[in-house]
Amino acid sequence: MRLKDKVAIVTGGAHGMGEAEARLFAREGARVVVADILASAAETVAADIRAGGGQAIAAAVDVTSEAAWRTLIDQTLSTHGRLDILVNNAGISGSSVGDPDGLDGWDRIIAVNQTSVFLGTKLAAEQMAKTGGGSIVNISSIMGFVGGASGHPAYCASKGAVRIYTKAAAVRYGPRGVRVNSVHPGYMPPMLNATNAGERADKIALTPLRRLGEPLEVANGVLFLASDEASFITGAELVIDGGFIAQ
């Protein structure tokens, strides 16, 4: 098992890519904390993991709150005694706010997608450093590289910030044994679940592999970066996009 006995927090773990990551981590031997603002959905995922023989607990968390982050890490430590892996997966798109071009929409997208990564990375890295190190994986996006028309400016800004912040954090925390990397998914569910058939076809046409991705394909990349197989990789960008940014 690639994560045997490691303790991992996955934010946004109740659905989509986060759920795929949490389930895969558990299959690979990790003790998983499924963290999400949707507490009931998180518990459903954790209970299903346990029913399948894995180890998981659910935790309610508002990733924009420093106090909530401290509570989440304290809960993890009180249950498992350590923290080895953090996946900063929680995020929202421009369609998740009423007016993504207004200040309130901008602030909300930045808080969920960008500030949460700062809070989680800082607090997790401080804890990991006390026990010999760990791995942090920050989920950015292909829109962290390009200002695509399909991504609202605030979304692109937030994901671009995650990309560069990850590099700065890797430099800061590397001497303390903490690796920090970013993953950049392309077009895939659940972000495209609400789009119509024409919009989905447009996204497929923009992707050289001519299909949408799957959450498990992202989870496999996150698993690699979280594992000891990536022990000399930090500050790196793993793009999982079917070739989108290669064009």
Annotated catalytic residues are 155
- Beta-ladder partners of 35: 11, 59
C-alpha distances (whole Å) from 183 to each of 57, 75, 80, 91, 99 are 24, 26, 26, 13, 27
Q: What DSSP string runs through 7-21?
A: EEEEETTTSHHHHHH
Q: Where are the alpha helices (DSSP H) in the chain?
A: 16-27, 39-51, 66-80, 103-110, 116-130, 153-173, 197-205, 215-226
Quickly count helices (H) and strands (E) in the chain: 8, 7
Place of tokens 């001519």: 210
How far apart CA 217 and CA 20 sit, in angstroms, is: 9
